[in-house]
Amino acid sequence: MAVARLVPMSRNLPKQARVDFIDQRLNELYPEPPVPLDHSNPYTLLVAVLLSAQCTDERVNRITPALFELADNPFDMAQHSAEAIRAIIKPCGLSPQKSKAIRRLSEILIEEHSGEVPADFESLERLPGVGHKTASVVMAQSFGVPSFPVDTHIHRLAQRWGLTRGRNVVDTERDLKKVFRRERWNDLHLQIIFYGREFCTARSCNGLVCEICTTCYPARKHPKKVNKP
């Protein structure tokens, strides 16, 4: 049974009411959020997420068909030079570092994991070019492990919605995990991203415009300042 939608009041909502409304509204808007990066297996997702650093998902999705035609598994990728990989991924930016990381992590997957992407944070985060956020995305979307990957967009919205005072994505991840149910983490990560792109962008909403901001903070009079990570 659907929960009745909250009606904006003259006073700002208490934290638990904000959490409940955000959880409900995002699930209404994006009931089955797709993974925005095109991929066919854990390895191609890992590479796509690595490429998405300081690059839009749209651009990554334009680049990866050619890359995965070259190689869509670590055995084939390791046979190509970093220069050959870089020639394809150059439009993504940071191509010298990313191409070397893709080739080397492919070698490590072969040497240490029989060519399989490991399903644990420690092993993933030891791979070149793979940080906690990238590992979290792979664990969540490829292996179904409850994770809450936080990027700058989620960090921004969580602050606008009063869910964290964190000064970095690590603090924000910790705070979001405290207030949302564990079984919702993987979907919420995607739902917040989609909402932020569609309704609560860095430029179109300053905490005073979109539905969630105005419902949670109807008495807010001034733009919400956000701590940059």
**Cβ-contact 210, 194 below 8 angstroms:** no
d(CA 53, CA 151): 10
Catalytic residue among 23, 98, 151, 187: 151
Catalytic residue among 23, 133, 175, 187: 133
Q: Kindly report each contact of residues 26-32 with a partner whose C-beta sits within 8 Å and lies 24 or more positions away, as own/partner.
A: 26/188, 26/191, 26/192, 26/195, 27/187, 27/191, 28/2, 29/191, 29/194, 29/195, 30/187, 30/190, 30/191, 30/194, 30/195
d(CA 196, CA 143): 25
Q: Write the CA distances from 152 to 8, 31, 145, integer angstroms.
A: 27, 23, 22
d(CA 22, CA 150): 16
Is 175 a known active-site residue?
Answer: no
**Cβ-contact 116, 41 below 8 angstroms:** no
**Cβ-contact 195, 212 below 8 angstroms:** yes
Is 151 a known active-site residue?
Answer: yes
The set of catalytic residues is 133, 151
